[in-house]
């Protein structure tokens, strides 16, 4: 079959890498892709936020299956337009993608499903929001309702920080995403990510992972898109994962179906775990990046069968077969990230790195120029390895990192520390 993947990050490189290993895949196109993806698939520079453009491209190239990587095309209704044009698509409708695109929407779904999550209130005006913060006290969490590229959440340790966040949000710092604000109880605990496929009816868990959001070792410094990940996440024990499924995922998916917006695609549940009890922090309607990289390394070729079954409503017929192993990915980022950073610096040594089913370097922000690989973003490479133990996966990944010659880049040295 001919397969089109939308996106250009390390997540999409990992999806392409797994899909490519499945003999069902005849032709693979990634739009727009990046320099690493170009070594395993065709890349096409089209506007993936324009459903008309994407479905025209899919028709011209006799595409049988479309996998949508990032949230922006989902929120823009690209999956709906493709399905209307008759394509088989992995990814939720815009109506269902509101689980990520609107925090207030998700809170209302949790209420209807009686799913454990932080207590909250919604505001469209500054004065009552501030009064609520003064009444509740700090720590407290202030969130822009809409999509804000991962920057719309302020975990305020003091009341003053929370009040400033209100000024920023209603002052337009987050554009229309901040027109409504959700204020939440601060939840303590350990965070983990749970990935579940949902075909509207059946839900099947496909793995657990833990991200490292802070830029610095020991979880210090500002938040990033994620500096590394590993799978499985031991904090999500079988028992806690079952609770998350039965108390949060299944009831919320039932509410989505009952209200006429069934969810189809991968559901990424961000969970906070304390004293054996999971609570929902947030839903995302896509794979995490870099969590996808470790999940794909563990799933391999069957990832395509799972995504296809999901898109075709056949999840009840299929099972995820897990190798009893561990995967870990280290993100290499440009100096300065998540603040300002330089583009165009050269990365050397990539050609000499192993490329096996257990060791692979996924590209996030790279471009190829005159035979060289140049950094072209904040997060640039995801050095990923598998092992019988987490320690082995980590040793392998860092051994590869050591062989990369990129003076203008950096990484965290402690990925996996919580589990080790
Ligand atoms: P989000 O953009 O929703 O992923 O939130 C970013 C991060 O903020 C999460 O990964 C958590 O670390 C933190 N966070 C969000 N909501 C809460 C909460 N209610 N309590 C504590 N931390 C939170
Ligand atoms: N790594 C966090 C995310 O993809 O949202």
Q: Is 281 in the pocket of ligand 1 (CB under 6 A)?
A: yes
**8-state DSSP, 260:** T
Q: Is 211 in the pocket of ligand 2 (CB under 6 A)?
A: yes
* Position 98 in a domain: no
Number of domains in the chain: 4
Please name which ligand lies nearest the alpha carbon of 226.
2
User: Which residues, 6 or more positions from 152, have their beta carbon under 8 angstroms from its beta carbon?
Assistant: 143, 144, 146, 169, 174, 177, 178
Q: Is 247 in the pocket of ligand 2 (CB under 6 A)?
A: no
Cα(79) to centroid of ligand 1, in Å? 27
CA distance 268 to 248: 12
- Say what the pLDDT of residue 323 is: 77
Please name which ligand lies nearest the alpha carbon of 288.
2
- Say what the pLDDT of residue 297 is: 96
CA distance 190 to 338: 23
Q: Is 219 in the pocket of ligand 1 (CB under 6 A)?
A: no
Same domain, 286 and 201: yes
- Say what the pLDDT of residue 286 is: 97
Q: Is 222 in the pocket of ligand 1 (CB under 6 A)?
A: no
* Position 416 in a domain: no
Same domain, 271 and 377: no
126: domain CATH number is 3.30.1490.20
* Residue of 192, 284, 293 best suited for mutating to test ligand 2, as the one with most atoms within 8 Å of CB: 284
**Pairing mode of beta strands 153-156, 120-123:** unpaired
What's the pTM value of the predicted model, to 2 decimals? 0.95
Q: Is 288 in the pocket of ligand 2 (CB under 6 A)?
A: yes
Cα(134) to centroid of ligand 1, in Å? 20
Cα(255) to centroid of ligand 1, in Å? 23
* Residue of 71, 136, 141 best suited for mutating to test ligand 1, as the one with most atoms within 8 Å of CB: 141
Domain boundary among 317, 349, 368: 317
* Position 418 in a domain: no
Same domain, 225 and 305: yes
- Say what the pLDDT of residue 372 is: 96
48: domain CATH number is 3.40.50.20
* Position 108 in a domain: no
Nearest C-alpha to atom 3 of ligand 2 is from which residue?
Answer: 288
Same domain, 196 and 295: yes
Cα(211) to centroid of ligand 2, in Å? 7
**Pairing mode of beta strands 203-211, 214-216:** unpaired
Same domain, 201 and 307: yes
As a whole number of Å, the end-to-end CA separation of the chain is 41
- Say what the pLDDT of residue 239 is: 97
CA distance 404 to 331: 12
Same domain, 155 and 253: no
> What are the φ/ψ torsions at residue 305 (nearest 5 degrees)?
-60, -40
Local mean pLDDT, 10-residue blocks, the chain (420 residues): 98 98 98 96 98 98 98 96 98 96 93 96 93 95 83 90 92 80 94 97 96 95 93 95 98 97 98 97 96 97 98 95 91 97 97 96 96 96 98 98 98 93
Asked if residues 401 and 330 have their Cβ atoms less than 8 Å apart, the reply is yes
- Say what the pLDDT of residue 150 is: 67
Q: Is 387 in the pocket of ligand 2 (CB under 6 A)?
A: no
Ligand 2 closest atom vs CA 289: 4
Q: Is 187 in the pocket of ligand 1 (CB under 6 A)?
A: yes
Asked if residues 78 and 56 have their Cβ atoms less than 8 Å apart, the reply is no
* Position 101 in a domain: no
Domain boundary among 317, 341, 360: 317
* Position 401 in a domain: yes
Same domain, 42 and 131: no
Q: How many residues does the chain have?
A: 420
User: Which residues, 6 or more positions from 111, have their beta carbon under 8 angstroms from its beta carbon?
Assistant: none
Please name which ligand lies nearest the alpha carbon of 286.
2
Same domain, 201 and 305: yes
**8-state DSSP, 15:** H
Same domain, 196 and 181: no
Same domain, 297 and 371: no
Same domain, 228 and 143: no
CA distance 393 to 390: 5
Domain boundary among 165, 185, 205: 185
- Whether omega before 245 lies within 30 degrees of 0, making that bond cis, reads no
Same domain, 338 and 396: yes
Cα(154) to centroid of ligand 1, in Å? 8
Q: What is the pLDDT of residues 142-195, one digit of tens each?
A: 998 888 776 788 999 999 999 999 999 888 787 787 788 999 999 999 999 999
207: domain CATH number is 3.30.470.20
CA distance 327 to 116: 29
Expressed as residue numbers, the domain containing 228 is 190-317
Report residue 373 CA to chain centroid gap.
25
* Position 155 in a domain: yes
* Position 106 in a domain: no
Asked if residues 352 and 403 have their Cβ atoms less than 8 Å apart, the reply is yes
331: domain CATH number is 3.90.600.10
């Amino acid at each position: 079959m001919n397969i089109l993947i939308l996106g250009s990050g390390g997540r999409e490189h990992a999806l392409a890498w797994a899909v490519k290993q499945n003999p069902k895949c005849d032709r693979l196109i990634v739009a727009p892709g990046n320099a690493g993806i170009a070594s395993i698939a065709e890349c096409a520079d089209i506007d993936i936020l324009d459903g008309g453009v994407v479905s025209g491209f899919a028709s011209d190239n006799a595409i049988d299956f479309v996998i949508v990587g990032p949230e922006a095309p989902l929120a823009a209704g690209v999956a709906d337009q493709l399905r209307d044009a008759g394509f088989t698509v992995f990814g939720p409708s815009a109506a269902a993608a509101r689980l990520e695109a609107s925090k207030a929407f998700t809170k209302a779904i949790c209420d209807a499903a009686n799913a454990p999550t932080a207590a909250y209130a919604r505001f469209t005006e500054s004065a009552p929001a501030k009064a609520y913060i003064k009444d509740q006290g700090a720590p407290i969490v202030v969130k822009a309702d809409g999509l804000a590229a991962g920057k719309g959440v302020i975990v305020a340790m003091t009341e003053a920080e929370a009040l400033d966040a209100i000024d920023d949000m209603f002052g337009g710092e987050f554009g229309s995403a901040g027109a409504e604000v959700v204020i939440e109880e601060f939840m303590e605990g350990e965070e983990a990510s749970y990935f579940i496929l949902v075909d509207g009816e059946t839900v099947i868990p496909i793995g657990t992972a833990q991200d490292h959001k802070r830029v610095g070792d020991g979880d210090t410094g500002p938040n990033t898109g994620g500096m590394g990940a590993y799978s499985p996440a031991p904090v999500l024990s079988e028992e806690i994962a079952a609770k998350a499924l039965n108390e949060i995922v299944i009831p919320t998916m039932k509410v989505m179906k009952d209200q006429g917006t069934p969810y189809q695609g991968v559901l990424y549940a961000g969970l906070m775990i304390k004293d054996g009890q999971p609570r929902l922090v947030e839903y995302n309607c896509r794979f995490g990046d870099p969590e996808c990289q470790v999940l794909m390394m563990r799933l391999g070729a069957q990832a395509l069968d799972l995504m296809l079954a999901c898109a075709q409503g056949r999840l009840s017929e299929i099972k995820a077969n897990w190798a009893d192993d561990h995967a870990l990915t280290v993100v290499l980022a440009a100096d300065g990230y998540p603040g300002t950073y330089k583009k165009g610096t050269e990365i050397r040594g990539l050609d000499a790195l192993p490329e096996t089913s257990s060791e692979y370097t996924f590209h996030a922000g790279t471009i190829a120029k005159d035979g060289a690989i140049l950094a072209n973003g904040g997060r640039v490479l995801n050095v990923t390895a598998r092992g019988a133990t987490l320690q082995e996966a980590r040793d392998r990944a860092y051994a590869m990192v050591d062989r990369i010659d990129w003076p203008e880049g950096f990484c965290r040295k402690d990925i996996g520390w919580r589990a080790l």
